[in-house]
Structure 1
Amino acid sequence: MLSTVAFRGYRSLRDLVLPLGPLTVVTGANGTGKSSVYRALMLLADCGRGEVIGSLAREGGLQSVLWAGPEQTTGARRTGVTEGTTRTRPVSLELGFASDDLGYLVDLGLPQSSGFRSMFSRDPEIKREAVFAGPRLRPSSALVRRQGDYAEVADDTGRGFTELTRALPAHHSVLAEYAGALPELNAVRDRLRGWRFYDGFRVDAAAPARQPRVGTRTPVLSDDGADLAAALQTIIEVGHDDLARAVADAFDGATISVTDNDGLFELQLRQRGMLRALKPAELSDGTLRFLLWGAALFSPRPPSLMVLNEPETSLHPDLIPPLAAMICAAAANTQVVVVTHSGGMQERLAVADALTVELIKEWGETRVAGQTMLTAPPWDWGKR
């Protein structure tokens, strides 16, 4: 289980360290940085897939996502005036996590030289990476560390390091290049690759979830919900009764089933008082969205981490309690982070002992309400 995630230099996250529990609720007013936390977690996951450079490019490049304020904000808080400060650290975007076994840190920066006449001079470079044991990076806890194109691994004595490579490309992660050779790198890479993110679903008339699709066994719902019918049928055949109970509770005893028309799977919802089952095209937006969340949360293959961004969007208040119940049930099998500003959702999840992290913004910087140097989780960024 993750105990800490940390971000430095990303959008409004100048230097943010978040504690995590089995079920964590990240909340705050609009504009406090909740979406930035969600995106930063996705970037961290992309490091395991080898896609972080491309993801940053889709956000406009490294320069577009960097913290735009002064390196230190203590002067602004003291004087009430925001002014530039003398830079003491290199321009960088840093991401990391710590868990009950392994942790990971990556430092991305501006390229020094992309090659003669190269058109990729805006691509960020991976300046530094580290895999470590324990709650934070220390010289004694480092298992693998990388500086520029040089990477090394801790030796069997635990007191020194052995060279891994001197020619690691700046746009390649050590996780992708050497995971097959080192079990600790493989464990971190697979963990990051397994994280799942759901940021609402399309429910318009042309939404993928409303269209019949060729069905195959689907233990993991896709992020666009296109394989909803196959995912629901997989849950049904596994014998997961919690989903059926959640649907019945939310829609007055309704039941769901899946039809197979020449290999094309289609969802059906049967409600009390109706002479026939309703097809996806006939379902309301809120009903379809609730079923999508159910398929995601009751996955027969739970990930190590599932992140939900404002799952209550476009749902009637009456659906918040059953949705919260599904989230709590999922948290019994996987670590869940819920980003929300719904008071009703917060109250329901608080009953299940969720850890609530409230974000606030001061002088453009996202901070955790009430967090001090003494109460913040232990974390050390290290140096280039």
Structure 2
Amino acid sequence: MLKTLAIANYRSIRSLVVPLGRLNLITGANGSGKSNFYRALRLLAETAGGGVVGALAREGGLTSALWAGPERISDAMRKGEAPIQGVVRQQPIGLKLGFAGEDFGYAMDLGFPPPPQAPTAFALDPEFKREAIWSGPFLRSSNVLVDRRGPLARVRDGRQWRTLSDHLSAFESLFTQVADPERAPEAIRVRELVRAWRFYDHFRSDREAPARQAQMGTRTVVLGHDGADLAAAWQTIREIGDSEALDAAVEDAFPGAKVDISLDGGRFTLMFSQHGLLRPLSAMELSDGTLRYLLWIAALHTPRPPPLMVLNEPETSLHPDLLPALARLIAHASRRSQVWVVSHASRLIAALEAAPDCHSIALEKDVSQTRVVGQRTLDEPAWYWPER
């Protein structure tokens, strides 16, 4: 389980170090930075698959993603007694992301490349300046296990350091370039942990949504992000997962209802039976809200629970009366996975905050930077970034 998340210089987030729990609820007014918080976590996950530079490019590049305000904001600036203006920069420009878990921590520092020695069309590609993997709750010189500085990657060997590579590509993470389970098992373990994180963001439920169509089905232990394999995932949970919990989740949200899977030549179709109807309804006939809720049931009852599951505005298209049941569904999932929920629905927020293990993180804007409501410097977990 992640214990700490740290973000620096990403869009509206100048610097945040946030403690985490098993069930984390991210709230805040529109424009407070909830989406940036979520996108920063997705960027962090992209490092394990080698896609962080491409993901930044889709956001407009590193220049667009960096914090646009001054390096430091004085009390006079915050009180409006002095204009917001740049000061003499003390630190190099860089986007920093990191986390600390129960076993290992990881941090990276992305910055601009130096002037190219040869002509290139990719002079704006960001570079990995530093990466570090350590044991314990925060980085110290004594607990670093894997250290990457530019093209050089080293691994600790007792009291000495052993070079893994001295020619790493600057635009790729060490996770995609160091794959030696004997010489660097910590890098492999952290990479696989991050790759197992699962993100769900706005299931489609329109008339052409893949989840409405009959699909060829195979055993599906993880619901796809577009929900196309909903029927196959549902049947998989029924056969090798917690079938009783699946039925209970349907009953909780739709009393008297039942979900079955129809098979026709290998094609799977979800059928929804409801009290008072003479025939079951296919997924094509369901309302947007009902279909979306069934997608959440399938996603949160996966037979292969991930270490981290992130749900971005799961209340979208759902009737307010379904939100208490959704909160119970999420709380149940948090027993098997660490869960993040980003939401602005007051009814869902109230229901989740009533859960015993809910850790609420309320965000606000202060002089255009995202901050945690009520968090002061001494409230932050201990955290140190690797120095360039």
TM-score above 0.5, yes or no: yes
DSSP-derived class of the 2:95 partner = strand
The answer as to whether partners of 2:99 and 2:105 remain within 8 angstroms in 1 is yes
In structure 2, what is the Cα distance between the partners aligned to 1:220 and 1:235?
Answer: 10
Q: CA RMSD in A?
A: 1.2
* 1:361 maps to which of 334, 358, 365: 365
Query: Residue 150 of structure 1 corresponds to which residue in structure 2?
Result: 152
Aligned pair in 2 of structure 1 residues 304, 72: CA closer, same or farther (>3 Å)? same
Q: What amino acid does structure 2 have at the position aligned with 1:21?
A: G
Is 1:259 aligned to 2:278, yes or no? no
| C-alpha displacement of 1:83 | 1.0
Report the secondary structure of 1:332's partner residue.
coil
For the structure 1 residues 115 and 258, does the alpha-carbon distance in structure 2 shift closer, same or farther, using more than 3 Å as the test? farther
- Cα distance in 2 for partners of 1:193, 1:51 equals 11
Contact 1:179 1:189 in 2 (8 A): no
2:91 to 89, 92, 108: 89
Aligned identity (percent) is 52
Q: Name the structure 2 match of 1:175.
A: 175
Cα deviation, 1:31-54, whole Å, max 9, x if unaligned, reads 100000111000000101111111
Structure 2 unpaired stretches of 5+:
none
Amino acid at match of 2:23: L
Unaligned 5+ runs, structure 1: none
For residues 179 and 323 of structure 1, what CA distance do their matches in structure 2 show?
A: 40
Note if 1:52 corresponds to 2:56: no
Q: Is 1:272 equivalent to 2:275 in the alignment? A: yes
Query: Which of these residues, 333, 345, 348, is aligned with residue 348 of structure 2?
Result: 345
Number of aligned positions between the proteins = 382
Give the Cα–Cα distance (whole angstroms) in 2 for the partners of residues 377 and 2 of structure 1. Answer: 12
Q: Distance in 2 between matches of 1:223 and 1:383?
A: 37
Q: How far does the alpha carbon of each residue in 1:139-178 deviate from its partner, in whole angstroms, 9 at most, with x for none?
A: 011101111111111112xx33222221111012111211
Q: Which moved more, 1:70-79 or 1:355-364?
A: 70-79
User: Which deviates more, 343-352 or 356-365?
Assistant: 343-352
- CA distance in 2 between counterparts of 1:80 and 1:28 reads 27
Alpha-carbon shift at residue 113 of structure 1 (Å): 4.3
Q: Is the 8 A contact 2:130 2:386 kept in 1?
A: no
Q: What TM-score, normalized by structure 2, do the two folds share?
A: 0.96
1:192-271 → structure 2 map (5 Å cutoff): 192-240=194-242, 241-271=244-274
Structure 2 residue identity aligned to 1:52: V
Q: CA deviation at 1:349?
A: 1.4
C-alpha distance in structure 2 between counterparts of 1:270 and 1:206, whole Å? 22
Q: 1:266 to 1:87 in 2, by over 3 A?
A: same
**Aligned ranges for residues 1-384 of structure 1 at < 5 Å?**
1-74=1-74, 75-78=76-79, 79-113=81-115, 116-156=118-158, 159-181=159-181, 182-240=184-242, 241-353=244-356, 354-384=358-388
* CA shift digits 1:295-341 (9 cap, x unpaired): 11111100000011111112111100111111011000000011111
1:116 to partner: Cα distance: 2.5
How far residue 115 of structure 1 moved from its aligned partner, in angstroms, is 5.9
Contact 2:241 2:302 in 1 (8 A): no
Residue aligned with 1:178, SS: coil
| TM-score, normalised by the number of residues in structure 1 | 0.97
**SS of aligned partner of 1:224:** coil
Amino acid at match of 1:162: R
**Contact preservation (8 Å) 1:92, 1:107:** yes
Report Cα offsets for 1:202-233 as digits up to 9, x if no partner.
11101111111110111101111111111111
Helix, strand or coil: the match of 1:108? strand
